[in-house]
Amino acid sequence: MEREECVQHPEILKSLPFRLFIDGEWTDGSSGKTRPVINPATEEVIVEVPDASPEDVKRAIDAAARAFRQWSRMTAYERAAILKKAADLIRERQEEIARLMTLEVGKPIKESRVEVQICAGYFEWYAEEAKRNYGDLVPQWIPSKRHWLIRQPVGVVATITPWNFPANLLARKVAPALAAGCTVVSKPDHRTPLVAMAIFKCLQDAGLPPGVANLVAGDPAEISAVFFADERVRKISFTGSTRVGKLLMQQAAEQIKRLSLELGGHAPVIVFPDVDVDKAAKWTVQAKFRNNGQTCISPNRIYVHEQIWDQFVARVVDYTKQLRLGNGLDESTDVGPLIDRNGLEKVERHVQDAVAKGAKVLCGGKRPEGEQFKRGFWYEPTVLVNITRDMLVSCEETFGPVMPLIPFKDKDEVIEWANDTPYGLAAYVLTYDYRTLIDVVERLETGMVGVWDFAPATFQCPFGGVKQSGFGLEGGWEGLKEYLVTKHVSIVLDY
């Protein structure tokens, strides 16, 4: 396959096989079709990758189904050794994978490095959790009986992951599935398949048997249609939009196929008047503009008590203006580009809608000027006030660098506002008052709450939402259980 070398880091492209990974082999697609991976900072083609045809996807499922027989019967210790080796290799190749991530996603290199470390952490964590898949002995009420509960792998698993965290979100699904004894066919986002390919190279080099994990890239609708049609795919784990999640639920109904869905969010932040205002403003700005706001748990609605409103707003604007917008490969960059033109246009549409309905732009609010921003998908970090509940920024996930600030004066009122959304993934509370904290945390309708913590996702704890933010958990022991079925064994002793 011919490749266009990225002028910034051609050595990265020479070191990895950017192809499909099926049955232990790197291969081109059977159709011969390819699609470009675009650098969102420059709109340059990084590399062309194969498009998997439905036949390629079926071949990957065939391989996973064959490999399941062996992989599921290996001891947990044997599987754990391979996952731990993969984690070690990911850490060894951190810089290479991080630079690749910045090229295809656009996020600052310092954020990419952290993500690679967390990705390795998931593989290491589930290497250990594989050994903790305990069964149960249930007390019998008939003396001559015994009841065992054993937990076994569900079978072949398909994973569908988005572009914004191409290492973490893949690891959160693939690592527990493999630890449980499942085999996997993974589909990364067609815009960002390169990091997934680099991680699969680590799995291959760690000694993963052929067919246990397979990687197909290409058209989402075509690939997912094969996943849902094939009865050998027993479970599908998806991270993406609520709209697509609803469609997948409809498709899953035909075979009663198991699903895990991590869908959209619209996270509120509630800032109470007892806080250190400078710290609260600084941390909120850092969280909001991490990955340019393209994060499912990104703060989307910032509610600030009226007693500290003026001071908080002033500090937020100051910190936002200090953010450096630029190419993520520059070590000094704080905020990179949006992923593509659609993402850029959505941000513009949300800001324009807000301004038309009376919002005021305190900073940002437009595409940046300058030669380096003539190409790429750039938008300035933006702070808005005078927000009303009919604006798009109030009721939709912007998924971009826009921070709407909203004053409140009553705790009960702000909890009602925070919960007034069909989504329930994450929420954040900033207060030093433990009575307020406990009351608010217990009443928020979300799967996760961060208290002075804007990065609650971690490999040792469950991650998931409620309402239309989906169901199923990733991370922790709960993440392993998503790939297991419980079998009841009842034994009569006096036969």
Residues with catalytic roles:
262, 296
- Six-digit token string for 285: 């700005």
Report angle CA 209, 204, 45 to the nearest 5 degrees.
Answer: 140
Cβ atoms within 10 Å, residue 360: 12
Structure tokens at 295: 């994060």
**Maximum C-alpha span of the chain:** 85
Kindly state the tokens that stand for 209: 């048997």
Report the interhelical angle of 76-92 vs 194-205 (nearest 10°): 130
- Using N-to-C axis directions, what is the helix angle for 277-288 and 309-322, rounded to 10°? 50
As given in the structure block, the two tokens for residue 75 are 């001891």
What's the CA gap between 281 and 384, in Å, rounded? 14
Helix spans in 289-362 (H): 309-322, 341-356
Q: Which of 457, 425, 464, 477 is nearest to 118 (CA)?
A: 457
Rg (CA), the chain: 24
The runs of H, that is alpha helices, within 254-290 are 277-288
**Cβ pair 180, 134 in contact under 8 A:** no
Cβ proximity of 181 and 83 under 8 Å:
no
**Per-position b or e across 205-230, b if 16+ CB within 10 A of its CB:** ebebebbbbbbbbbbeeebbebbbeb
Structural contact between residues 421 and 303, judged by C-beta atoms closer than 8 angstroms? no
Cα→Cα distances 146→12, 143, 179, 249, Å? 58, 8, 28, 38
